[in-house]
Structure 1
Amino acid sequence: MISCFHPSPSLFCHPTMPCRVETWTLLITFICLLIAYGYWPYGFFKKLGIPGPKPSPFFGTLGDYHKGFLQMDMMYFKTYGRLWGFYEGRLPILSIMDTRMIKTVLVKECFSFFIDRRDFSFNGPLNDAISNARGEAWKLKRSVVSPMFSSGRIKEMVPLMQQHSDKLVQCLQGIANHDEAVEVREYFGSYTLDAVASIALSIDTDSFNNSNDPTVIKLKRAFTFKADNPGFLLSGTFIPQSRKKSLIEKKNVDKNRMDFLQLMLESQLPEIKHSTNENKQIKGLTHHEILSTALIFLAAGYETTSKSLAFLVYNLATNPGAMKKLQDEIDEVFPNKAPVTYEHLIHMEYLDMVLNESLRLYPIALRLERLCTETIVINGVTIPKGTVVMIPVYTLHRDPELWPEPECFNPERFSKENKDSMDPYAFLPFGAGPRNCVGMRFAVILMKLAIVQVLQNFSFAACKETEIPLQLDKLPLLGTVNPIKVKIVPLETWTLLITCICLLIAYGYWPYGFFKKLGIPGPKPSPFFGTFREYKKGFFQMDMMYFKTYGRLWGFYEGRLPILSIMDTRMIKTVLVKECFSFFIDRRDFPFNGPLKDAISNARGEAWKLKRSVVSPMFSSGRIKEMLPLMKQHSDKLVQCLQGIANHNEAVEVREYFGSYTLDAIASIALSIDTDSFNNSNDPTVIKLKRAFTFKMDNPGFLLSVLFPFLNPLLEKANLCIFSLADLTYLFSAIEKVKLDREKNVDKNQMDFLQLMLESQLPEIKHGTNENKQIKGLTHHEILSTSLIFLAAGFETTTRSLAFLVYNLATNPGAMKKLQDEIEEVFPNKAPVTYEHLIHMEYLDMVLNESLRLYPIALRLERLCTETIVINGVTIPKGTVVMIPVYTLHHDPELWPEPECFNPERFSKENKDSMDPYAFLPFGAGPRNCVGMRFAVILMKLAIVQVLQNFSFASCKETEIPLQLDKLPLLGTVNPIKVKIVPRGPIMKEE
């Protein structure tokens, strides 16, 4: 078939056109060569076994530069570790961060393998600068230039530098009192530019006053870099032209001029005169080399030094403690603003530390590069000839293994103690080895001089215009996206401000070593707040978390107040009972304010003993027995009310009904007030009673008391209160009105608490003299405060306890049935409830106690240690608040197996005898337990018995199981507790 095909010549060629075959072949060849050109370099690091990012054809990893230079290096370090390779176009670059390799490259093998930098096409003005020289040519140039930066030469230049630092101080003086943010680089850049220009070339730029001068503008933008510049070209061609005349004038050498240009001219005068090739190996510089090197000193020196100064000012402004310490050193070395001298400047230890730490955080030269001139193996890594070795300085300075907490400004890293153990090749702001920055000494002195003179007169302060943290740009010389702005504060103002800040810091920090000294574990506190912010998790939630973390003993800080939490029952017994009168008689002082300040719950020491001796008899068994008929009036009303809704088959909000019962009973028994809240739920007195003890964590009185306890006396006078002051004041006034009416018409038949208190203090009421202040009795205000506590607190705690008890019975029908059986046995056929029978109902006790264990309303008990004591090997200093986390204690699985389960059998006679009494504290224990405990228990028992005689409780779809508990200091639920009230049918007794 092939032989049958006879192509015509015209198929590929035309008589008047070149052959298409050759054209197509050429095109294909070109494409193949182009593809090969675009791909072939990118196996370099793979062959060497060095990790790195995947390169793209032609571009290599150049596309990653859009992220930014330092950003790209940090990304590669986090991905590949301390050694990686990438491609800048077709050029392979080896990045190293191992300090041993860095030392080899920069120092040990510098002259043999790494003497050169890579070749950049800088263009005319800079191609002969010392920074671009190679090999022997570089050595010759360096030998000429290095002496210009000797200590002696720089010392001679300090007076000239001081002229410009003085001008900087004068300029800042003019703006310091304006209370405005200052763009740092504008002023410190002008100082740097003027100083470098005058010292390098004797040019008087005066950029403070001539910021729009063309020379100043061109100097400031000479090293502007654009990432899309294909050769990474640098601008700035004006110097050779603008200084050519000046250089010619230097033929008439002025030996008194000591600028760098003059020193370079002196080093190469024979060459300038003869311009012959015979002298090319003479130690000196050619005409163009002098110009290029002068330009590098001028433009690069300005750029790097002004940026470093700007970052240093920022670090001082945002770290006032370090700035104050530096100012103290300055005042010690140069007292009374003494003139700054070179000798003192170079020996200022803390100044060195601050400057070095700023250069570590913000090194202007983000990278160092060396060209490998011969293949070498370092630490097992082969580096072929021609490879560019790059050290990512910024990334090296942020390596957390070399610099713990690398983002923090901490000058102590460079203290004598720490510097000795520091790896010198982990800190390279000026490079290292023979090819380090030749102008390092000059730049350091220039920066030190400016900072010292400015801090002699001013301080730096961060302000709202100060960007924290700084947003760094993406260019090869480190800078910021937005200008650095701070306030310049006159020293007198700043001294006062710093003193206040230091005192404030000391105030915020000093209490927090308390538990550490005692060897007591606990959470780490925050300044000022301590562990206060943990309360956002909730009170009992926080206690449970700490118990699981630290065990049965821990310390935490409520603001500045140290609180010792104990859950060891032996310690609890000692605190609440054994040493109560000797060491733990008091509770801590809360600024409750007006209405409650004299209540028995807030009394201390002997005053508490007197009040307790008056109040305790009011809650004796005999008194409570006398009150039972009055209680029954309200429990009967509760049953009647429930009867009306029991047949509706609807969920009932438990607290609404049992709260009305509790409120009416307490109000009538305490004060003979008929609230009738079943029918008058919108009555102002009822509403205010229900919300009197509303507590909010953001209550300003509470926050101020916690953070600044010394303000408590002022809080009292300012009428701040941790509860609802308006509601408490209203109730206080209502009680006072009842009391005054009662005093006018004394009725001996009234047996409420108010009457009992009035009888105990009639002599004081009649005479009102100070002679009776130690008489066993209560003052007018104490009677009102104590009545208010009984009324408001008694209502709140008893109502919540009843609501939880109803919930437990509704969700545990077996326990409820057993309780109803006991009720039927004790009070058959709904017989009237009597005090004698009520107090001896065993299973009722068990059910109530288990409910109080699961849901204790008072989440914590607190006692104030009045004298230092050691309990079970634990030292408790005087003034320490000892806290018993009751809810957490009641849910300790070692004390209560399966603590989340409702199990009344825990409190049976058989189990109760083996139970630790100090593991169950719903009412506290010891002399300062709840004085109204008996009253509250009888009130709850009566309600439950009478209700269960007539109804049962049943959970329903509206019943939240499990309950979502709230985060407040008195235990409650996020959502209302709802159950169904089910009427009981005829009671059939089994025979």
Structure 2
Amino acid sequence: MLLLLITLCVIPLAALSFFFKGIKQSVLNYLELKKIPGPPISNIIFGSIPTLHTSRENIFQKLRQWARIYYPIYNISFLHKVITFLHTPEDCELIMSNPKHNTKSRIYNVLHPWLGTGLLTSTGSKWSTRRRILTPSFHFSILQQFVTVFNEETEQLVETFKKLCDQPFIDVTQHVTQFTLKTITETAMGTKLKFEDSREIEYKKAIFDMGEIVVYRLTYTWLVDKVVNMFRLGYLKERRVVNTLHRFTSRMIAEREKTFEEVQLPKETDEVYTTKRRLAMLDLLLSAKKKDNAIDDTGIREEVDTFTFEGHDTTSAALSFALMLIACNRSVQDQIVEEIEAVLGDVHKRPTYNDLQEMKYLERTVKEVLRLYPSVHMVSRKTGEEVVTGSGYVIPKNSIVLLQIYDIHHDPKIYPDPEKFDPDRFLPENSQNRHPFAYLPFSAGSRNCIGQRFAMLELKAAICGILANFVLHPVDTPETIVFVIDLILRTKEGIKVKFVPRNF
């Protein structure tokens, strides 16, 4: 009895001690972070956040303004939380190069209903296991097969533009987004979608609806919290949209599994890798499930959904910006076409994997597009240990940091005349002394984008096919587009380009 009484007393006391210790640490962390400069607090409860409750384009501009005023570091507060913004390659390296900071911050919670904890949002051993399973998907011998998909879908995109090119301009965003969605579903799921039947149309609409939901929750910061989000009026719609997405993906996985053939995962040293049919990323996930039970059905769905999200939206944004910039810079456009002719002989020939690798000027052009307009313009992490920044400020463990890639790419100290479009910035002699974390379109460190070679090949193949058939003329320009805050760099309206049939 005495032992029971002691236990009943000790456990609550220990719990209280742990609770107050946590509160004390949170206060100490908050006080440490408040030493970092930042915009004035506009509300005693909500801190600086009310300043950002404005239009999405104003939020984007406000963040750029604060980056200039408070460079190289600032913070904004919300209740007891503080978010620290970093704007230098040196500080980004402190975060990205240290595996202790690999955990994504709670900002990414808005993606959990759809993506679960797939490669984008997971951490620790789960993330490393999934990374190991999926890395072979981007072996060069598999990418060679994917190039065939890129070329086939590019031809369909070109046909769409041919039907519309008599118009004063084409808003490319919608068409390019459908193109990238088709390529990623075929390469990820092995499913060729035409978006003609009701299930496919419903799936495409659900993806776009989910994008709007994510942006809405990010704009109203308190909705990032899962519990708070459950009480908003649009929560039931979110559940319906997520169910539609999961139902479609699960059906595609089940159909692929019926005809599944065991595959041997390629190694980086393999020179030849063949299979009886065109491989999809899903095949490697199914193989990992069958072989050693390294992933279950839910995990497979998480990764397929993650690739669909990451693989279509980011590439769509990049290709839309690329077409605009190429239209606005005729000399660059002409040099790309000359290179295509030199490599392919016939510009209408489908480029192979090796052909695309030879197109060095086109690659520099794409890199410059991604410098000016990085699709993933910011990355957020939770610190795994204390960080001392280059300017001497201390960021405690378990703090939220936001790495502002867009601002680094537009820093005049790193890129002179940063708004100028100049592919030659990426000539070896012009980039060899640049800080390795000064160019981050695909992030960096161990959590760098697993699909960056995939994305570069897709962008190059699409540009080849389009420029073989059209001369691009500017309608929208860098001066006329208006950016809005989003997980992906996005414009307020579409991107308009004039397409004129090319005669060879």
For residue 604 of structure 1, the aligned residue among 123, 136, 142 is 123
- Residues 294-305 of structure 1: matches in 2 within 5 Å? none
**Structure 2 counterpart of 1:859:** 377
Select the structure with the greater relative contact order (CA < 8 A; seq sep ≥ 6). 2
1:916 to 1:680, Cα distance in 2 relative to 1, 3 A? farther
1:603 counterpart SS class: coil
Distance in 2 (alpha carbons) for counterparts of 1:816 and 1:723: 44
**Structure 2 counterpart of 1:524:** 40
For residue 65 of structure 2, the aligned residue among 536, 545, 560 is 545
- 8 Å CA contact 1:699, 1:722 repeated in 2: no
- Residues 515-664 of structure 1: matches in 2 within 5 Å? 519-525=35-41, 526-535=43-52, 536=54, 538-577=58-97, 579=98, 581=99, 583-589=100-106, 590-646=109-165, 648-664=166-182
Distance in 2 (alpha carbons) for counterparts of 1:959 and 1:722: 40
| CA positional deviation for 1:945 | 0.9
Distance in 1 (alpha carbons) for counterparts of 2:336 and 2:312: 25
1:901 to 1:595, Cα distance in 2 relative to 1, 3 A? same
Task: State which structure, 1 or 2, has the greater radius of gyration over its C-alpha atoms.
Answer: 1
**Structure 2 counterpart of 1:790:** 307
Overall identity of the aligned pairs, in %: 24
**Structure 2 counterpart of 1:740:** 254
1:655 to 1:592, Cα distance in 2 relative to 1, 3 A? closer
| CA positional deviation for 1:516 | 5.6
TM-score w.r.t. length of structure 2: 0.83
Letter in 2 for 1:663: L
- 8 Å CA contact 1:592, 1:723 repeated in 2: no
Letter in 2 for 1:637: Q
**Structure 2 counterpart of 1:751:** 279
| CA positional deviation for 1:926 | 0.8
**Structure 1 counterpart of 2:335:** 818
Whether 1:940 and 2:459 are equivalent positions in the alignment is yes
1:645 to 1:914, Cα distance in 2 relative to 1, 3 A? same
Distance in 1 (alpha carbons) for counterparts of 2:150 and 2:435: 33
- 8 Å CA contact 2:29, 2:396 repeated in 1: no
1:700 to 1:792, Cα distance in 2 relative to 1, 3 A? closer
Matched residue count: 458
For structure 2, the 5+ residue unaligned runs are: 1-22, 263-276
- Residues 49-64 of structure 1: matches in 2 within 5 Å? none
Distance in 1 (alpha carbons) for counterparts of 2:242 and 2:153: 24
- Residues 420-439 of structure 1: matches in 2 within 5 Å? none
- 8 Å CA contact 1:594, 1:716 repeated in 2: no
Deviation string, structure 1 residues 934-956 (Cα, Å, up to 9, x no partner):
11111111100111112111124
For residue 870 of structure 1, the aligned residue among 366, 388, 395 is 388
| CA positional deviation for 1:639 | 2.2
- Residues 329-728 of structure 1: matches in 2 within 5 Å? 514=30, 519-525=35-41, 526-535=43-52, 536=54, 538-577=58-97, 579=98, 581=99, 583-589=100-106, 590-646=109-165, 648-677=166-195, 683-695=201-213, 698-699=216-217, 703-705=221-223, 712=226, 724-728=238-242
For residue 419 of structure 2, the aligned residue among 884, 892, 900 is 900
Letter in 2 for 1:754: L
1:875 to 1:703, Cα distance in 2 relative to 1, 3 A? closer
| CA positional deviation for 1:553 | 1.3
- Residues 301-320 of structure 1: matches in 2 within 5 Å? none
| CA positional deviation for 1:747 | 3.7
1:921 to 1:678, Cα distance in 2 relative to 1, 3 A? farther
Deviation string, structure 1 residues 669-721 (Cα, Å, up to 9, x no partner):
11122222499999222222333322466549964355xx5xx4675899987
2:212 counterpart SS class: coil
**Structure 1 counterpart of 2:482:** 964
**Structure 2 counterpart of 1:63:** none
Distance in 1 (alpha carbons) for counterparts of 2:251 and 2:39: 49
1:600 counterpart SS class: coil
2:437 counterpart SS class: helix
1:541 to 1:631, Cα distance in 2 relative to 1, 3 A? same
2:150 counterpart SS class: helix
Whether 1:807 and 2:324 are equivalent positions in the alignment is yes
Distance in 1 (alpha carbons) for counterparts of 2:491 and 2:430: 30
Letter in 1 for 2:325: N
- 8 Å CA contact 1:764, 1:779 repeated in 2: no
Letter in 1 for 2:169: A
**Structure 2 counterpart of 1:731:** 245
| CA positional deviation for 1:545 | 1.4
2:499 counterpart SS class: strand
For residue 926 of structure 1, the aligned residue among 418, 439, 445 is 445
Q: CA RMSD in A?
A: 3.0
Deviation string, structure 1 residues 572-611 (Cα, Å, up to 9, x no partner):
122111x2x2x21211132544432221211111221111
1:602 counterpart SS class: coil
Deviation string, structure 1 residues 809-849 (Cα, Å, up to 9, x no partner):
11111111111111111112223301112123211111111
Letter in 1 for 2:187: I
2:117 counterpart SS class: coil
Letter in 1 for 2:449: C
1:512 to 1:955, Cα distance in 2 relative to 1, 3 A? farther
1:829 to 1:741, Cα distance in 2 relative to 1, 3 A? closer
- Residues 178-327 of structure 1: matches in 2 within 5 Å? none
For structure 1, the 5+ residue unaligned runs are: 1-506, 766-776, 987-991
Distance in 1 (alpha carbons) for counterparts of 2:396 and 2:407: 24
- 8 Å CA contact 2:33, 2:82 repeated in 1: no
Whether 1:954 and 2:473 are equivalent positions in the alignment is yes
- 8 Å CA contact 2:33, 2:396 repeated in 1: no
| CA positional deviation for 1:663 | 1.4
**Structure 2 counterpart of 1:760:** 288
Whether 1:974 and 2:492 are equivalent positions in the alignment is yes
- 8 Å CA contact 2:72, 2:87 repeated in 1: yes
- 8 Å CA contact 2:47, 2:77 repeated in 1: yes
Letter in 2 for 1:519: K
1:694 counterpart SS class: helix
**Structure 2 counterpart of 1:843:** 361
1:562 to 1:700, Cα distance in 2 relative to 1, 3 A? closer
- 8 Å CA contact 1:562, 1:880 repeated in 2: yes
1:517 to 1:696, Cα distance in 2 relative to 1, 3 A? closer
- 8 Å CA contact 1:543, 1:885 repeated in 2: no
1:835 to 1:698, Cα distance in 2 relative to 1, 3 A? closer
Distance in 1 (alpha carbons) for counterparts of 2:388 and 2:218: 36
1:650 counterpart SS class: coil
Letter in 2 for 1:730: T
Distance in 2 (alpha carbons) for counterparts of 1:871 and 1:907: 28
Distance in 1 (alpha carbons) for counterparts of 2:198 and 2:38: 49
| CA positional deviation for 1:570 | 1.8
| CA positional deviation for 1:642 | 2.3
1:722 to 1:930, Cα distance in 2 relative to 1, 3 A? farther
Letter in 2 for 1:847: T
| CA positional deviation for 1:621 | 2.4
Once structures 1 and 2 are overlaid, which stretch shifts more, 591-600 or 907-916?
591-600
TM-score w.r.t. length of structure 1: 0.43
- 8 Å CA contact 2:373, 2:406 repeated in 1: yes
1:549 to 1:823, Cα distance in 2 relative to 1, 3 A? same
